[in-house]
Structure 1
Amino acid sequence: MDWLQVAVLSIVQGLTEFLPVSSSAHLILVPVLTDWTDQGLAFDVALHLGSLAAVVLYFRHELARMIVSWTGSLRGGTPDRDARLAWWVLLATIPVSVVGFASRDAIEVGMRSPLIIAGGLIGFGVLLGVADWRRRNGRSEYQLTLKDAVLIGLAQALALIPGTSRSGITITAALLLGMSREGAARFSFLLSIPVIVLASALEIVGLASEPRAVEWSTLVVGTLLSGISAYLCIHYFLVFIRRVGMQPFVAYRIVLGLWLLWLFW
């Protein structure tokens, strides 16, 4: 890979991992608009690890409290709000893990069509717009209930449909359940941690059987660029939605979906 390809793919991954705009749609567009060869599984793993490092670093204080409180709850202590949040993150990860493992091959083979991605962008984009329009100044991530966690977890499983956007569908579900924009986004970002860990683990297993030379310089640069862009994305996204809301992302999704329909119909 040349350095332009490394930079573009890294930044696209870092941004679209957390913005509600669908990373799968953008990763389809990149090869359409360029003549680049496939970057390889090792580079994909590096980009995911960069995004993971960014979200862990950004929420390091919250995660530290959650881990301490969650461990205490395992020892019989009364769960406080940090322990409950940790339990809700773990619980909401179960549906996407089960569905993902059970249907991974079917999704990879049968649902990577640009037309399916375009439909997901438009349909779930409109749903995000409705959820944001209906929302009120609602609850934070610390005010979630067991029912909320289960429903958001079930919604997250829909992100396996290309074009849906994991962050987009979890934020949509959280808004519909009465969460604030910032609370919905923060819970969505926390949910990304176990999901990225599981996805990276699967990629590493596949990497073990991929007999390709590793370009360590591109992996290091890709990880750094992905991590930096993801960290900045999380920070400014939370500021942006507090002031503006989700509607610009809704409009972007619809336009991108229509463009994909025009390109591939």
Structure 2
Amino acid sequence: MTFWVLVLLGVVQGICEFLPISSSGHLVLLSSIFGVQESLFVSIIFHLATLFAVVVIFRKDLWRMIKNPFSNEVILLAVATIMTCIIALIFMPLLKDSFAGGILPISFLLSAIFLFFSEKRHTKPGKIGIKKAILIGLAQGVALVPGISRSGTTISAGLIAGAEKKECAKFSFLLSIPIIVASLLLEIVEVAKEGLSVNINIVGLVVGGILAFSIALVSIKFMLKLTEKTNLKWFSLYLVFMSILSGVIFW
């Protein structure tokens, strides 16, 4: 991978990881457009960058949970994470082929539909409890498919379940930490088995990683502010565009 491709991928990772538009879908699409082979090593570096970003933003919350590991917040995050792992263990072996670009038009469109209708509820929003955490965790499992936004799906699931929007966003970002860590571990194991399969520009990788971290910090803060002020359904218009674009490219 060249310097500029790695820089672009880092920027896209930083922008898309925490906005409800699917970073995995964008990276698959860009890799196809530039004709480059996806690299697990690059994915590891960029996942580390976005992991550091969410840890920095929520460091006070994380420290509080470390000091009180049996708090309600920790239990809810653990329940949601377990639900995600169950979905992953059951369906991921069946979905290996979905990581090709052909699934993107469908998954982008499904994300758009889910996001658009997520705020059309008729109940007063409440706190996230066990039932809501289970639903959010299951939704995150579905979002393992490229093109289905993890943040968009988990926030939407929380909204549909009747949780308050800002709380859904914060819960979604905290929930990303164990999932990113799990993804990192799996990718590290794969790299250890297979080795590096593509040539990588190290300077580009470092710059891309720094950009992914820096932009992810801004993206998280932006998303938290956005959930207070506007309807997330406007992201669905962009996802419809991405569905059409990926359909033109892959179909």
**Same fold (TM > 0.5):** yes
Normalised by the length of structure 2, the TM-score is 0.90
**What letter is aligned with 2:10?**
S
**What letter is aligned with 2:166?**
E
Separation in 2 of the partners of 1:95 and 1:178? 19
CA-to-aligned-CA distance 1:130-169 (integer Å, 9 cap, x gap): 1123377733xxx321111112111211112332211111
Query: What does residue 118 of structure 1 align with?
Result: 105
Separation in 1 of the partners of 2:103 and 2:214? 31
Preserved CA contact (<8 Å) 1:107 1:160: no
Gapped runs of 5+ residues in structure 2? none
The Cα RMSD (Å) is 2.1
Map residues 29-108 of structure 1 onto 2, 5 A cutoff.
Answer: 29-35=29-35, 37-38=36-37, 40-70=39-69, 73=70, 83-108=71-96
Change in CA separation of 1:254 and 1:208 when aligned onto 2, cut-off 3 Å: same
Preserved CA contact (<8 Å) 1:181 1:245: no
Is 1:167 equivalent to 2:166 in the alignment?
no
Q: Could you tell me how far 1:118 is from its partner in structure 2? A: 1.3
Change in CA separation of 1:28 and 1:165 when aligned onto 2, cut-off 3 Å: same
Identity, % of aligned pairs?
34
Q: Which has the greater radius of gyration?
A: 1
Q: Could you tell me how far 1:127 is from its partner in structure 2? A: 1.8
Equivalences, count: 249
Separation in 2 of the partners of 1:154 and 1:2? 37
Separation in 1 of the partners of 2:57 and 2:123? 26
Change in CA separation of 1:32 and 1:206 when aligned onto 2, cut-off 3 Å: closer
Change in CA separation of 1:4 and 1:216 when aligned onto 2, cut-off 3 Å: closer
Q: Could you tell me how far 1:216 is from its partner in structure 2? A: 4.7
Q: Could you tell me how far 1:214 is from its partner in structure 2? A: 7.1
**What letter is aligned with 1:176?**
I
Separation in 2 of the partners of 1:195 and 1:223? 19
The secondary structure found in structure 2 opposite 1:161 is coil
Separation in 2 of the partners of 1:52 and 1:174? 22
Change in CA separation of 1:38 and 1:148 when aligned onto 2, cut-off 3 Å: same
**What letter is aligned with 1:4?**
W
Greater shift, 190-199 or 97-106, is seen at 97-106
Change in CA separation of 1:39 and 1:117 when aligned onto 2, cut-off 3 Å: closer
Change in CA separation of 1:131 and 1:219 when aligned onto 2, cut-off 3 Å: same
Separation in 2 of the partners of 1:215 and 1:121? 30
Preserved CA contact (<8 Å) 1:21 1:253: yes
Gapped runs of 5+ residues in structure 1? 74-82
Change in CA separation of 1:113 and 1:43 when aligned onto 2, cut-off 3 Å: closer
Preserved CA contact (<8 Å) 1:121 1:164: yes
Query: What does residue 76 of structure 1 align with?
Result: none
Normalised by the length of structure 1, the TM-score is 0.86
